[in-house]
Amino acid sequence: DTLDATKAGVSDTITIIKPVIDSLNFALVFKGYIYIPEHAAYEFSLESDDGSRLYLDDELIINNDGEHYVWERASAVTLKPGFHKIRLAYFNVMRHSRLNLTMKVNGKKSIIPPSMLFY
């Protein structure tokens, strides 16, 4: 939260499989809204190399922070239908950047589709 942005943009996914920034050390913040279509338990999984944190409605849902190789952490939360604030903070130190946010509902795990993400 104390870094100054060098670039800003819009993304329709929250995933990084290959480097997107020509730097070994960088940080990204994704923020906007996720549209939840039905009242249900949603399990979010956050996989990253290095640190990442996922917030929904300003509440820390997943803490996968720190310098580490690819780790995945998950957390389930019951959400009501409608728009919910989403914020994901990520940083990478040295090589091998990776970030992947998935969601499981009704037993089906998938990347969050662009149709559910708004800014």
Asked, for residue 90, whether it belongs to a domain, the answer is yes
Asked, for residue 7, whether it belongs to a domain, the answer is no
Asked, for residue 9, whether it belongs to a domain, the answer is no
Asked, for residue 112, whether it belongs to a domain, the answer is yes
| CA 78/CA 106 separation, integer angstroms | 12
- pLDDT by residue (tens digit) across 44-72? 999 998 899 999 999 999 999 988 889 99
Asked, for residue 114, whether it belongs to a domain, the answer is yes
Total tally of structural domains belonging to the chain: 1
Tallying the residues shown for the chain, one arrives at 119
Asked, for residue 16, whether it belongs to a domain, the answer is no
Flag whether the pTM goes above 0.85.
yes
Average pLDDT of the chain is: 90
Residue 101 in tokens? 């946010």
